[in-house]
Chain A
Amino acid sequence: MENFDFTLIDWSRAQFALTALYHWLFVPLTLGITFILAIMETIYYKTGNPEWKKITKFWMTLFGINFAIGVATGIILEFEFGTNWSNYSWFVGDIFGAPLAIEGIMAFFMESTFIAIMFFGWNKVSKGFHLTATWLTAIGSNLSALWILVANGWMQNPIGMIFNPDTARNEMVDFWAILFSPTAINKFLHTIFSSYILAAIFVIGISAWYLLKKREVILAKKSILIASVFGLIFTIMTVFTGDESAREIATSQPMKFAAMEGMYHGSSNAPLIAAGILKDDPTVENPKKQDFFFELKIPSALSYMAFLDANAFVPGIYDLVHGNEDQEIMSYYEKIERGTVARNALSDYKLAKKSEDKILADSLRANFEDEEWMNSNFKYFGYSYFDDPHDIIPNVPISFYSFHIMVVLGGHFGILFLGMLFFSLKNKLENKRWLLWVALWTMPLAYLASESGWIIAEMGRQPWVIQDLMPTMTAVSNIDSTSVIITFWLFFAVFTALLIAEIKIMLKQIKIGPNEGGH
């Protein structure tokens, strides 16, 4: 551990987090609002009512602003892979490259082509063709997200590859296993469905503002009706995919699962902390019972959520670090030893090749082709860099709070959609000014929940950049930390300027409203 430059590692992580968090301010709205637009335009296509065309065009303009400001912000992440994270980029080989290449091609051909028809094609192409372009834009943007999330899913649960000790690269052997990995599928569905919620809240929030201002009443009411139904459906879907994701995490990333619940000691019939405030952060050497200033528990719910069995044992942080023989949980100490065997084998293989000791090199190489040896040792390769179990535990308060903020806000969104739908159907929305204010102020909360989801996904899996195989500290390039610090602040300036531009242009366009505002 003392060999690593933690100034470089921390600034590289901070830069990546900054870029990813800013990028994610733009993406979820694009993923969701394109489908809302497609639904609105479908109603226009079916009814021929010009009001729906006006509504569609208005939301399309806001989508266009978000898309224009956000487009290509993700490319910076790819710059960072090549410069700051070169060991990682090399180690992942074609597994990360292939999905990103597909994403690039798909984004370019599908989104770019059909977005042009969406914006320029009114009255120039047939109504049916325009509608098809709108649907394909929605599908295309979501398929782009699929490939990114497949790559991310592989980092959380690496499968479908073999490690080549000659090149130090992982090579894809089963594309379909990577694409249809439960981690990737759950991550994709949970991410896009929660993005649909954010888009629905965006539409409802702006419509609520119009109703509060007694402007654009028809547009606002119709938009709220569509968005609240859309939001409600995908809140339910998000609950289901979140539940599936939790089960997946409990199996493939049990430490993240324990940190999400602030659970130091595992138990059978483990309760779910529905809400709580952590009192302290006990260490592994000095473990205490999990301690909360305030906690709202649901008995046995965590066991059921993790393993569909209320009596199941859910391991805590302490069980994972020290192991638990009764529950057949291997300790981190043992994993460190096994990972060290794998790392030494790689090191010895390299030396044997260098000294042209073919017999030794062949026997060492055989290990990397032996599935049993790989599962017993190489599977824990990343643990070899640690000697203190503290360093393999993610930040528990960040994991706990980001997870609970996401879940609690998810509940709030569901209730809001129900309320908006109920009063919308009763045609009493305009009288419920308190609800309209709640809807308006829920807009930033939707972004908070969405970012919290990424924080738990990425901070909860620390210290791994690739689960169990590569810790963050070995993934970084051996570069000068000063350059990373400079580019961190450059990005901060560029992204903040973009965000300010987006908010200003968006607010201006909302104030103009649908009548004068064109594309």
Chain B
Amino acid sequence: MLIFKKIFNFYYTGFKEMNIGKQLWIIILIKLFIMFAILKLFFFPNFLKSKFETDEERSDYVIEQLTNPK
């Protein structure tokens, strides 16, 4: 348990004593929010996963695309 407490304290004091790091963490968190909560969720669905249920259907679709592109 002591080791976990030491690791926790290491990070806790590290974050607490940050100077410019605080500003950078805000930027990182905003960036990650935009990327995962907005862009990924609303604009970047996985095309094949969202359109088809099984890998077999996905294979058939891609083969169709490759052999008879439209």
Question: Residue on A with the closest CB to B56?
Answer: A167
- Say yes or no: B47 contacts A505, CB within 8 Å: no
Residues of A within 8 A of B35 (CB): 72, 75-76, 79
A343 to B64, CA, bound (A): 11
Residues in B lying within 8 Å of A, measured CB to CB: 10-11, 13-15, 17-21, 23-25, 27-28, 31-32, 34-35, 39-40, 43-49, 55, 58-60, 62-70
B28:A68 contact, CB within 8 angstroms: yes
Task: Find out whether the CB atom of B67 lies under 8 angstroms from the CB atom of A3.
Answer: no
The contact sample of 27 A-B pairs, CB cut-off 8 A, is A61-B20, A64-B21, A72-B32, A76-B39, A79-B39, A82-B47, A83-B43, A83-B47, A84-B47, A86-B46, A87-B62, A89-B48, A90-B48, A90-B62, A91-B66, A120-B11, A166-B59, A168-B62, A343-B66, A347-B67, A350-B60, A350-B67, A473-B69, A486-B43, A490-B39, A498-B31, A505-B23
* Min C-beta distance of B58 to chain A, whole Å: 6
How many A residues touch B, CB cutoff 8 Å?
A: 53
The CA-CA distance from A479 to B59 in the complex, in Å, is: 17
* Alpha-carbon distance between A95 and B46 when the two chains are bound, in angstroms: 18
**Residues of chain A with a CB closer than 8 A to B44's CB:** 79-80, 82-83, 487
Query: A120 — nearest CB in chain B belongs to which residue?
Result: B14
A169 in complex: contacting residue of B11, B59, B68, CB < 8 Å: B59
Which chain B positions have C-beta within 8 A of A478?
65, 70
Contacts of A89 in B (CB 8 A): 48
Give the chain B neighbours of A82 by CB distance below 8 A: 44-49
- Chain B, interface SS category: helix
Cα separation A477 to B65 with both chains bound (whole Å): 9
Does A258 interact with chain B (Cβ within 8 Å)?
A: no
Q: Which residue of A lies closest to B14 (CB)?
A: A120
* Residues in A whose Cβ lies below 8 Å from that of B60: 350
Query: What residues make up the interface of A, taking CB atoms closer than 8 Å to B?
Result: 3-4, 61, 64-65, 68-69, 71-72, 75-76, 79-80, 82-84, 86-87, 89-91, 116, 119-121, 124, 165-169, 343, 346-347, 350, 385, 473-474, 477-479, 483, 486-487, 490, 494, 498, 501, 505, 509, 517-519
Extra inter-chain contacts (14) besides given A343-B67, A518-B19, CB under 8 Å:
A3-B70, A68-B27, A80-B44, A82-B44, A86-B62, A90-B48, A120-B11, A120-B17, A167-B59, A346-B66, A486-B43, A487-B43, A494-B34, A498-B27
Q: Which chain A positions have C-beta within 8 A of B43?
A: 83, 483, 486-487, 490
Question: Cα distance A342–B64 when bound, in Å?
Answer: 14
Number of A-B contacts (CB under 8 A): 124
Main secondary structure of the interface of A (DSSP, over half): helix
Q: Please tell me which one of the listed residues B20, B28, B34 contacts residue A519 in the complex, with CB atoms under 8 A apart.
A: B20
Q: Is the CB–CB distance between A168 and B25 below 8 Å?
A: no
Q: Report how far A80 CA is from B43 CA in the complex, Å.
A: 10
Task: Give CA–CA (A517, B19) in the complex, Å.
Answer: 8
Cβ of B14 and Cβ of A119 under 8 Å apart? Answer: yes
A204 to B26, alpha carbons, bound, how many Å?
29
If A167-B59, A519-B20, A519-B21 touch, does A501 touch B11 (CB 8 Å cutoff)? no
Q: Is the CB of B69 within 8 A of A3?
A: yes
| Contacting pair B39 A509 (CB below 8 A) | no
A347 contacts B59, C-beta separation under 8 Å: no
